[in-house]
Amino acid sequence: MKMFKRIIAVTAALAMLVCCTLGMTASATQLVVPVSGSDIDPTIQPPVIEAGSAIVMNANTGAVIFEHNAYQQRPMASTTKIMTALLAFEAGDIGREITINAEMLSYDERGSTKLGLVQGDKITMNDLIVAMMLLSGNDCAQSIAVALGGSFDGFASMMNERASELGMLNTHFITPSGLDDPQHYSTAYDMAVLGAYAMKNEDFATLVGKTRETIRYGNPVSPKVLANHNYLLEGQRQGVKGCNGIKTGHTDDAGYCLVSHVERDGVSLVCVTLGTNYYWDYHSGLYDYAFAQYRTVTATPDMPSDEMLVVGGAKQTVNMQCLCDGEFRVLGNQVNNLTSQLNLNRFEYAPISENQVLGSLTYYYGNMPVADFPIIAKENIECVTNDWVSAYIDAVKYNMQNQN
């Protein structure tokens, strides 16, 4: 139907495309923005990272605010479980019941963290994910892997395929839990990419932000309360303002590993440390440093009109508004080099639904978008015709009359 309307548009009223009022869209998303040294304020000093790798990345734009050995391949311990959980959530049907079998428990390492599953236990996929992410149960990760991949090798293939799709070019997965293996490695950069992506999954983000949760498992099934081992969460004993995820990890070979996520004042950052000598203080200091780099910019939606022309509707125009909350944040040295662009179609076809996106207001740093605010319809407009030639002619006449 849309194609039919456009064909008619060309043949019936091409002139209208030149004459009609422009329109725009808005959504509070921020897109990929490369950061150069000139974007960082050199008077703000980052914490000293004594060992391992570290990175702070804008979770929406991919901008790297700080990095230390961020592209070195290293073991990543139980932060691996971010990928395992993401695949489990993406597979769906997390309410299904799993019966634990011998293959799921076939790998064990003395001293590793486990829920304590035994053969014959019954547990839902959801509760396996909860215990894997909050308690860091390796037996839960292994059970998920066999349930989804058919085997550890099958699930490793799934992990590596997903890593490739996400652009994790220096990562290779062997185990679903993160237990040490010479061929199981990643980089701080790649794990930041994974963490930022995983937090866009609503189920994943809700889970990793919980300080405790009750699961049910066993034979017979009984409840158990689990506490989150990520003490960086806001409200926890090492809590950082705005921290709402993600995952800790530690093995003798990997050292202390942590992927975390913080939201403050409309800015979402992900921080990764691999192979360091402790968790919490590095992340706290890196977030303080990174957020200090940001400045607030006032968005000014300057639309030429608050109406857009409608073709074939019960009304000739639709009222619209920009969903701009007034402010957004960018790195301090980018503030004076921002431009904006209004993106609106010249007209819209009926029917139109209230809150339908009609266009956007986009802010740029150079040629890269940094903030995008949607413009939406404020009302419903019914379609009242099947005669699209006449509808276009009427729209042209209306537009010309109102431009005089």
What residues act catalytically? Answer: 78, 81, 136
Residues 6+ apart with CB under 8 A from 401: none
Q: How many CB atoms are closer than 10 A to CB 265?
A: 11
Per DSSP, helices labelled H in 120-209 are 125-130, 138-149, 152-165, 188-198, 202-208
> Closest Cα partner for 87 from 127, 147, 168, 139?
147
Amino acid, single-letter form, for residue 143: S
Q: How many whole angstroms separate alpha carbon 8 and alpha carbon 187?
A: 54
Check: CB of residue 316 under 8 Å from CB of residue 278: no
SS3 141: helix
Pairing of the two strands 347-349 and 307-311 = parallel
Q: How many whole angstroms separate alpha carbon 333 and alpha carbon 297?
A: 12
> Closest Cα partner for 161 from 86, 92, 237?
86
Check: CB of residue 269 under 8 Å from CB of residue 58: yes
Residues 6+ apart with CB under 8 A from 229: 134, 135, 136, 248
Q: How many whole angstroms separate alpha carbon 235 and alpha carbon 16?
A: 58
Any idea what DSSP says for residue 59?
Answer: T
Query: Torsions phi, psi of 369, nearest 5?
Result: -70, 135
DSSP H or E segment with residue 401: helix 388-403
Pairing of the two strands 317-322 and 338-344 = unpaired
Q: How many whole angstroms separate alpha carbon 240 and alpha carbon 278?
A: 16
Check: CB of residue 173 under 8 Å from CB of residue 191: no
Amino acid, single-letter form, for residue 19: C
User: Which residues are paired to 249 by β-bridges?
Assistant: 257
Residues 6+ apart with CB under 8 A from 206: none
